[in-house]
Every structure is written in C-alpha cells, then in structure tokens.
Amino acid sequence: MAMTNITGKVSFHSGKTLSIAHNLGKERTSGNWNKDGHISPERTPLNVVLTNTPLKEFFEETFGEAIEKYNIANEKKHPDRVTSVKEYYNKQKNKAQESIFQLSDHDNYIKLVDEVGEQQADEIHKQYLTDVYNQFKKENPSLKIFSATIHFDETKYGTPHLHLDYLPVAESNRGLTTKVSMDGAMKQLGFIRERKQKYSETPYKQWLSAQRLRAEQLASKYINVIPSEPSVIGHQQQNEWRAKEQKRNAVQKLTGAFTANRTKDNAQAVIDNAESIKQVARQEAKEIIDKAKVEQLKAKKLMEIADNKISTANQAIAEAQRNIAVAEKNNKVVNTKIGKFAVTIEQEVQKRIAPENFFLRQQQEDERYKNRNYEQQQAVQELLQKVKNKSTQKGR
C-alpha cells in the first residue's frame, strides 16, 4: 500500500539529448540554464550527485584494456586498424543516452508538500529516485552508468527528478572485445525480436516498456500509480511482469550459451563471408588497376603534348637567337658607317671654318701690331719731354 494519498502517473523518457554541464553545473541560475526562471537557486544545494565519472575517463576505464589487446592483435598485419581510446571516444561519445525519471508531476508534488511538508516530500522523492537508480544499475549491467543526479531545484514548475546518463556496452568475439553497441547491450539483457512480434516492436522499445513498468512498480510504494498503458491490476499485473522477467532471463541465458559455444555453422558463415570479402577485394583491385591504366595512357598523351610544346619552344628560341645574331651584325655595320660619316662631317666642318679662323687670326695680329706701335710712340714722346724739361732748367 502506498505511503501517501497521492495518485498520479510516473514519468519516464529516454533519449540521446543530455548535458552533464547542466546536470552538475554550479551556476545553474545563470542566463544559460535559467532563462525562464524555472530553477530555484535556494534549493540547488539540495541536489544529489549519486555518481559522476567524466565521459573521457569512463571510456578509458571501460574500453582501455580492450583497445590495447585489439591493437596488439592488429599492429603487425593490419596497422591501419590500430586505434586509441581518444579516437574511439570521439567516434562513439554521441552514443551516450540519458533517462529521466520522476514521481508524478508538479501538481501532485504541491499536494504532497501540503500533506506531509516540504522536507518530507523531498525525502520521499529522494528515496524513490535512489531506488530507481539502484534498480537500473542492477538490472541493466550492459547499460553502464557514468553520471546520475537528482535535481530538487526545478520544482517551481516541475518536480524532483533523476537524470541518469549511461552508455550501451556489449561484449563481442569480433573486433573489440568490449564495444559501444545498443543492439549488443539489448541482446545481452535478453531483449530480442521474435518472429511473432511486429517489426516496430524493437528490442529497444521492449526495454523501454520494461523500464517504465519497473519504475511504476517501485513508485507504488510511495503513491497510487496510474498505469501508463492498459494492463491488468493487482497481483495479476505483478505475475505478468514476473512471467516476462523469467522469459527474458531465459533468453539471456540462451544468448550467453550461444555466444560461449560457437558452432561449425557459424564458422562456415565466417568463411563464406571472408570469401565474399575476397571477391569484392579482387573486383576493387581490378577497378583500381584499370583506372591506373587509363590514367597512365592519359599521362602518356600529356607527355607527348608537352614534348611537342617543348620542341616548338626550342625552335622558336633558335630562330630568335639567329635573329639576334643578324641584328648584332647589322648593328656593327651601322656603327662603322656612322663612325665614317662622323669623320667626314668633322673634316667638312674644319674645311668650312678654316678661312674664318685665318682672317680672325690676321685681325688679331694687326691689332697687336697697332698696339705695340702706339706704345712705342708714347715712350718716345715721354723721353723727348724729359729732355726738353732738363734743357729749360739749365738755361735759367
């Protein structure tokens, strides 16, 4: 019997959208996380981190040993297959999923607060969500949880809820012995598609239905649960779940036995698959060789074109060199003629200016002669004047 008078539906949904920064963020009331004011900062200290391992560290812990063994097996024959935890993380990190669980809705949370008080109401939600976490971890060993947080600070419009983040991990006999695989994880949990089932009833959808049913069964300890889908009530509902659980466990055991004991048919299938791969490889090799031959013919044709262009260019260079030699020869002849013509011109000029030079020199000589006679006459006059002056002084 439920410990409260609350009646409502359990909320559970799952998907690939998750944000560890939002779940664990210390500044949850910042503009990034609290645009509509749905987070109450005074209640943030009430949040509970059940577990948290950074996803990169989780990959190292979960796949490090398998990757190391895989690399040792392939480093000699298939070095191109060698990988690292970092590369595997970058390829597979988006396969992580998040499931969110909550006990009914906001209206029922307010009713529960009115009935038992806020502290007790929070404690009831904490007990239920912790039960969900522990049950999920126990019943889904191939869904590895790396982070789980209970939020109590989003009750302004909502109710306390659990963010449960996990990665689907499966064991394998091919490639990595431990790898990310939702199909493999579902198979190891015993969820497989049977012939009589509809195509839409995938193992993952079967698992979702089982998780919702288990979450409702846990919730029935705390509230009066309204089933999310039509089902029988009372002990019949629990018996039906137990029957499904027994069937799932049986399938899981059979799957494990089949995995542990590989048959000859399986080995033959591997051989046939290898032969198919070889045929495809041969075909691909032939296509590559044919393509290479075509490229070789194209290259040969281009070489011939290039040789023709080089030959034409060499002929043009030789012709240009011949033209240059002729030009230089003609230039020497022209320079010689110019030199001779210059000498002839100079001689002609000298001839023409020679008479002018003679008359100019004659005029200059006549001028000097006149100047010399004038100077001599002046000297005689001065001498006669001196003699005359002396004779006059003596007569006195």
Contact 164, 133 (CB under 8 A): yes
Q: What is the pLDDT of residue 96?
A: 95
Please give the structure tokens belonging to residue 30.
């910042």
Beta strands 224-225 and 7-8 are parallel
In a domain, 88, yes or no: yes
The range of the structural domain enclosing residue 253 comes to 7-261
Taking alpha carbons only, the member of 90, 91, 87, 21 closest to residue 54 is 21
CA dist list (Å): 80 to 73, 74, 84, 176, 188: 12, 8, 12, 15, 30
- The residues with which 330 forms a beta bridge, in sequence order, are none
Question: Which is more confident, 379 or 87?
Answer: 87
For residues 22 and 53, what is the distance between their CA atoms, to the nearest angstrom?
A: 15
φ/ψ of 33, rounded to 5, equals -100, -20
φ/ψ of 173, rounded to 5, equals -100, 0
CA dist list (Å): 198 to 156, 192, 202, 228, 354: 42, 12, 8, 21, 131
In a domain, 196, yes or no: yes
In a domain, 396, yes or no: no
φ/ψ of 356, rounded to 5, equals -60, -40
Structure-derived torsion over alpha carbons of residues 73, 78, 79, 83, reported in degrees to the nearest 10: -60
- pTM of the full structure: 0.58
Q: What is the pLDDT of residue 237?
A: 38
In a domain, 204, yes or no: yes
Total domain count for the chain? 1
Kindly give the interhelix angle for 106-116 and 118-139, rounded to the nearest 10 degrees. 120
pLDDT at 298 exceeding the cut of 80: no
Q: What is the pLDDT of residue 52?
A: 95
pLDDT class of 251 with cuts at 50, 70, 90? low
pLDDT at 17 exceeding the cut of 90: no
pLDDT class of 138 with cuts at 50, 70, 90? very high
In a domain, 362, yes or no: no
Question: What is the rounded average pLDDT for all residues in the chain?
Answer: 81
Specify the CATH number for the domain of residue 68: 3.30.930.30
From the number of C-beta atoms within 10 Å of its C-beta (0-12, 13-18, 19+), residue 146 rates as buried
Q: Which residues contact 146 (CB under 8 A, 6 or more apart)?
A: 51, 52, 53, 54, 55, 58, 96, 165, 166, 167
The distance in angstroms from the start CA to the end CA of the chain is: 187
In a domain, 90, yes or no: yes
In a domain, 161, yes or no: yes
Helix (H, G, I), strand (E, B) or coil at 243: helix
pLDDT at 221 exceeding the cut of 70: yes
Least confident range from 170-174, 271-275, 360-364: namely 271-275
Please give the structure tokens belonging to residue 310.
């080089």
pLDDT class of 356 with cuts at 50, 70, 90? low
In a domain, 363, yes or no: no
From the number of C-beta atoms within 10 Å of its C-beta (0-12, 13-18, 19+), residue 153 rates as buried
pLDDT per position as a tens digit, 56-113 = 999 999 999 999 998 898 888 888 888 899 999 999 999 999 999 999 999 999 999 9
Range from 34-48, 138-152, 269-283, 380-394 that averages highest in pLDDT: 138-152
